[in-house]
Amino acid sequence: MCCLLRPFQLLYLLLFLLNFQPNLSSSSSSSSITQLCSPEEAAALIQFKTSFSIDESSSWWCDYYSKISYPKTNSWKEGLDCCSWDGITCDNVNGQVIGLDLSCSWLYGSIASNSSLFHLRHLQKLNLAFNYFNLSKMSSKFGQFASLEYLNLSEAYFRGQVPSQVSHLSKLVSLDLSGNYIQTLDKHTLKGLIENLTKVRQLVLDDINMSSISSNALMNLSSSLRILSLVGCGLIGKIPENIFHFSQLRFLGLSYNYFSGQIPSSLTNLRHLEFLYISNNQLEGSIPNEVTAFPNLISLDLSFNLLNGTLPSWLYTVSTLKHIALENNKLSGDIKEFQYNSLEEISLGNNKLKGPIPSSISHLVNLTFVDLSNLIGIVEVDMFSKLQNLQVLDLSYNSLSLSSNGVSANYTLPNLQGLYLSSCNVSEFPQFLRGSESLKRLDLSNNRISGKIPKWMWDVGKDSLWNLNLSHNSLTDFEQIPWKEIEYLDLSSNFIHGDLPIPPSTTMVFLISNNSLSGEIPSLLCNANNLEYLDLSHNNLSGIIPQCFGNLSRGLFVLNLQMNKFHGPIPSVFTKGCPLYYLNLNGNQLEGPLPQAIVNCRRLEVLDLGNNKINDTFPYWLESLTQLRVLVLYSNQLHGSIHGPWSSHSFSEIQNFDLSSNYFTGPLPVKYIKNFKVMINLTVDESEMSYMGTGGRAPGDFYGYSTRIAIKGQEMELEKIFSGFTSIDLSNNEFQGEIPKVIGKLDSLRELNLSHNNLSSCIPTTMGNLTALESLDLSSNKLVGKIPEQLTSLGSLEVLNLSQNQLVGPIPKGKQFNTFGNDSYAGNLGLCGFPLSKSCDNTEAPIFPEEADSEFGFEWKAALMGYGSGLVFGISAAYIMFTLGKPRWLVRMVEEVGYKLKRYLKGRKNL
Ligand SMILES: *[C@@H]1O[C@H](CO)[C@@H](O)[C@H](O)[C@H]1NC(C)=O
Ligand SMILES: *[C@@H]1O[C@H](CO)[C@@H](O)[C@H](O)[C@H]1NC(C)=O
Ligand SMILES: *[C@@H]1O[C@H](CO)[C@@H](O)[C@H](O)[C@H]1NC(C)=O
Ligand SMILES: *[C@@H]1O[C@H](CO)[C@@H](O)[C@H](O)[C@H]1NC(C)=O
Ligand SMILES: *[C@@H]1O[C@H](CO)[C@@H](O)[C@H](O)[C@H]1NC(C)=O
Ligand SMILES: *[C@@H]1O[C@H](CO)[C@@H](O)[C@H](O)[C@H]1NC(C)=O
Ligand SMILES: *[C@@H]1O[C@H](CO)[C@@H](O)[C@H](O)[C@H]1NC(C)=O
Ligand SMILES: *[C@@H]1O[C@H](CO)[C@@H](O)[C@H](O)[C@H]1NC(C)=O
């Protein structure tokens, strides 16, 4: 789902709406004796029924929100009075069908314009929510129900434009088109709605894309609104001030938009407000703080904004409040004592608030949800000991004081379902978990827990725990995984040794990278056939990759086996429909040819097979993987010349193309380079960091792709790949001939390495067009001619290596060129000018240097000088690169996600 509401928000909207149904004038229940429905309307209803098939999954949202769901149309039988059918309401007096409620009725199919639904002319109330209308367009005929007062098409899977005719429904009191996700509403339709729907009191348009509409267009909304919900509508700009004058408003939902600016103090005019949800916007400034504000507020969510200042004083006194969600803002100051006990949920995490937690919290007996992560100060866990209703407790990123350290706690939290104590400096499993039977999620990542899992933990959540994160601790043993229901298990970055533990068959995500596992992969692992993410990277696992991975490849989205000791061929186990997005086998000893079956994985975005012993010609068939973004084949035994592509679209999504350190011959793959469309005109919003990953498409939404790529000559593992990062590395092969001019088209290319080949042309002047280039390495070739003056326009260039060529003439002056040192030009005897000591006074004679001893010996020495002068160079260069603050995306990457600098000698064939 693109914009997930907190369940409580939606739930409260639903509950609230239940108590708030508009009165329909002449409706009555079906039991009345008076009139029978007309044969025409009965026929229309039967025809409507038969235009659908019944499919329970059409109404799965109903289960999610605990709504009763069954196929109401099953009771519809010809010959009976249709007024007695389920979901039908008739007028007492004349028997006309005035109400149709088929919400949660398992309907599957489309509603076309010729549907008999539109024959029901007298409808006052129509509810088709929570069915599956096949992503069909909402018909303009919906605008023809002249008497309609209530229209509800929520969660019904309509697509496309909301028809402007909806604004003809001028009697509407309630309109709900929420949750259709791919519907749009344009300016004119909205204007029509505002002009004509003067009676509307409930307007729920969540998830309809209104991004083409300026928020000012909402200025004239009816001030008699009781419910206004525009969640996830893509609205931009300031929140229209007038909304804060709707004195009747009880429910205001504007979460998940792009509203900016301050919250006007007139917000406190909304004295009837019970529900206020404006989370996930970009609001700044402080929260209005009028002591007597919001006397009726029940639920407040302003989380995920940029709000600062202190917590408003009314927060401590509005005795109706049950939910406070203010996490992920910039609020500061301390948390005062609460003067009422009704609170059920409190989320203040990820602000700049100071501890201690007020002692009144320990009296809020109805608290079920507490997020007080990331406070400044020490947190006493035991103060929660009396909160026996507690279901979720998040105290991550705090300095925890567990008074029970080492001894058995004298209390338990019997209803606890989620406990989050990540990065709390905890050295053992918290004792109060003993006997917890309903625990579902436990996050103890990034602590100091060492050794084995204590036996008593095996019973904690034995039949309920499904999400367990113990990564980044010091666990050493993990022989078995006792939790039967586990789905997500992260044991990465510990010191677990011995055999690979086998997760139960329920497991979908199993991450155990960065440990010391050894031995072969037991074929038992393949029984875990629900696996979607499997990461065994950075261990000492050996043996062959078992054939039974064929079973797994039917469900895997991510397979990461990099940096182990697997040998033998890559098994040809990728079957038709293989859903892999990410396949990483880098850094093993895999041999033989590449199995062509990989093309069955049509969604593949990252294929990293670098650092193996694969012996093959260039795998042209990879061209059919149209989603491929990262192709890394460096340091293998690939050979032959590259002729492709065979299709003009192949590799058009490629961002990182690394064939370095192989034995490729012939000209550079110029036709592929022509196809790299993504490297042209790539626009990335660098202020909004985004990384490549399965986010959003594959279930899970969390796995960031990593790969090992050379950045500015340093081989490093990128734990996350910034989506704007582009590179071509063809170094260390036997390519010959010229550098193609067309390369100048790749104006979004950041890294280009063609070094250590036999290229013998001039440097094309078009390379001056590579304005995004940050690193250019053409060293150790046989390039001739002058360095083109145009290269001075490479304003982002930070690393330049042209050494060991046969270049002549003056080195260009100015801009970036003033920052490069001698090393950039070494071994070109014909170059002169700054920074070389040789001046250009009489350089008419371009003496071609002797064929330098460019045999491996010399090249290798150069390589060692460049890359190999030890990790020291690597780290300090990286340090400088990052601390100078340029490029920004890398700095942020380091700050935000961390990275692992890993150096690998690239000159394997020279060894
Ligand atoms: C629309 O129908 C659904 C399902 O019955 C209900 O939960 C929701 O509250 C309704 N919306 C309005 C505005 O009444
Ligand atoms: C509606 O029109 C389609 C063709 O556009 C036809 O196949 C279908 O039978 C019609 N349905 C009804 C209820 O008339
Ligand atoms: C208002 O509704 C009437 C019919 O109820 C319709 O004729 C008119 O076009 C509507 N106006 C707008 C702006 O949609
Ligand atoms: C709001 O209504 C006023 C008066 O009818 C009109 O002048 C103005 O243009 C309307 N504003 C918008 C944004 O539609
Ligand atoms: C809050 O942020 C605003 C800018 O949005 C700034 O002007 C103000 O000084 C900040 N206040 C505090 C208390 O940090
Ligand atoms: C706690 O919840 C129960 C059940 O909803 C309610 O009866 C009781 O009044 C609540 N306690 C407080 C202090 O609000
Ligand atoms: C647990 O023991 C401490 C003293 O060690 C005591 O203060 C506290 O009240 C006890 N808690 C319970 C729930 O018995
Ligand atoms: C690319 O470079 C060539 C040669 O320097 C120049 O003539 C051409 O205009 C440039 N193209 C673009 C799109 O800048």
Distance CA 109, CA 102 (A): 14
Name the average pLDDT for the chain.
Answer: 83
Can you give the pLDDT at residue 377? 76
Last residue of a domain, which of 816, 847, 878?
847
Name the nearest CA neighbour of 413 among 431, 395, 398, 426.
431
Can you give the pLDDT at residue 220? 86
* Substitution site in 366, 367, 368 for ligand 6 pocket (most atoms within 8 Å of beta carbon): 366
Verify that 750 and 898 share a domain, yes or no.
no
If you take atom 13 of ligand 2, which residue's CA is the nearest one? 115
* pTM of this structure: 0.77
What ligand is nearest to the CA atom of residue 351? 5
Verify that 743 and 781 share a domain, yes or no.
yes
Distance CA 741, CA 762 (A): 10
What ligand is nearest to the CA atom of residue 260? 5
Full domain range(s) for residue 736: 629-682+726-847
Verify that 745 and 797 share a domain, yes or no.
yes
**Ligand 3 in reach of 168 Cβ (< 6 A):** yes
Verify that 670 and 794 share a domain, yes or no.
yes
At residue 871, does pLDDT exceed 90? no
> Is residue 152 in a domain?
no
**Ligand 5 in reach of 284 Cβ (< 6 A):** yes
Query: How confident is residue 135, by pLDDT bands cut at 50, 70 and 90?
Result: confident
Query: How confident is residue 404, by pLDDT bands cut at 50, 70 and 90?
Result: low
Query: How confident is residue 534, by pLDDT bands cut at 50, 70 and 90?
Result: very high
At residue 804, does pLDDT exceed 60? yes
If you take atom 4 of ligand 2, which residue's CA is the nearest one? 114
Verify that 792 and 896 share a domain, yes or no.
no
Query: How confident is residue 398, by pLDDT bands cut at 50, 70 and 90?
Result: confident
> Is residue 859 in a domain?
yes
> Is residue 285 in a domain?
no
Task: Pick the atom of ligand 7 nearest to 386's CA.
Answer: 13
Task: Pick the atom of ligand 6 nearest to 340's CA.
Answer: 13
If you take atom 10 of ligand 3, which residue's CA is the nearest one? 168
At residue 400, does pLDDT exceed 80? no
Q: What is the 3-state secondary structure (H, E, C) of 56-86?
A: HHHHHHHHHCCCCCCCHHHHCCCCCCHHHCC
Last residue of a domain, which of 824, 847, 870?
847
Pairing of strands 691-692, 721-722: antiparallel
- Mean pLDDT confidence for 405-425: 82
pLDDT digits (tens, 9 = 90+) for 42-59: 999 999 999 999 988 888
Name the nearest CA neighbour of 87 among 115, 52, 57, 129.
129
pLDDT above 90: percentage of residues in the chain: 61
Last residue of a domain, which of 847, 864, 895?
847
If you take atom 3 of ligand 8, which residue's CA is the nearest one? 766
Q: How far is the centre of ligand 8, averaged over its atoms, from the C-alpha of 790 (Å)? A: 9
Q: How far is the centre of ligand 2, averaged over its atoms, from the C-alpha of 146 (Å)? A: 24
pLDDT digits (tens, 9 = 90+) for 331-354: 999 999 999 999 999 999 999 998
> Is residue 742 in a domain?
yes
Verify that 863 and 838 share a domain, yes or no.
no
Q: How far is the centre of ligand 3, averaged over its atoms, from the C-alpha of 231 (Å)? A: 26
Q: How far is the centre of ligand 4, averaged over its atoms, from the C-alpha of 220 (Å)? A: 6
Verify that 802 and 782 share a domain, yes or no.
yes
What ligand is nearest to the CA atom of residue 368? 6
Contact (CB, 8 A) for 560 and 538: no
What ligand is nearest to the CA atom of residue 87? 1
Q: How many domains does the chain have?
A: 2
If you take atom 6 of ligand 7, which residue's CA is the nearest one? 410
Task: Pick the atom of ligand 1 nearest to 20's CA.
Answer: 14
* Substitution site in 238, 306, 308 for ligand 5 pocket (most atoms within 8 Å of beta carbon): 308
Verify that 737 and 839 share a domain, yes or no.
yes
pLDDT digits (tens, 9 = 90+) for 647-680: 778 899 999 999 999 999 999 999 999 999 989 9
> Is residue 816 in a domain?
yes
User: Could you tell me which residue, 224 or 30, shows the higher pLDDT?
Assistant: 224
> Is residue 832 in a domain?
yes
Name the nearest CA neighbour of 420 among 397, 454, 387, 388.
397
Contact (CB, 8 A) for 318 and 339: no
> Is residue 621 in a domain?
no
Verify that 858 and 843 share a domain, yes or no.
no
Verify that 843 and 733 share a domain, yes or no.
yes
**Ligand 1 in reach of 152 Cβ (< 6 A):** yes
> Is residue 85 in a domain?
no
* Substitution site in 359, 365, 410 for ligand 7 pocket (most atoms within 8 Å of beta carbon): 410
Q: How far is CA 81 from the centre of its chain?
A: 52
Contact (CB, 8 A) for 110 and 84: no
Beta strands in 322-380 (DSSP E): 323-325, 332-334, 345-347, 352-354, 369-371, 378-380
Task: Pick the atom of ligand 7 nearest to 410's CA.
Answer: 1
Of the ranges 102-116, 126-140, 710-724, 820-834, which one carries the lowest mean pLDDT score? 710-724
If you take atom 10 of ligand 4, which residue's CA is the nearest one? 220
At residue 469, does pLDDT exceed 80? yes
Residues in contact with 352: Cβ distance below 8 Å, sequence separation at least 6, in sequence order? 330, 331, 332, 376
Please report, for the domain that includes residue 836, its CATH number: 3.80.10.10
pLDDT digits (tens, 9 = 90+) for 159-168: 899 999 999 9
CA distances from residue 28 to 21, 34, 93, 797 in whole angstroms, order as listed: 14, 11, 10, 76
Q: How far is the centre of ligand 2, averaged over its atoms, from the C-alpha of 115 (Å)? A: 7
What ligand is nearest to the CA atom of residue 367? 6
- Mean pLDDT confidence for 544-559: 88
Verify that 801 and 821 share a domain, yes or no.
yes
Task: Pick the atom of ligand 6 nearest to 342's CA.
Answer: 14
Verify that 795 and 838 share a domain, yes or no.
yes
Can you give the pLDDT at residue 244? 87
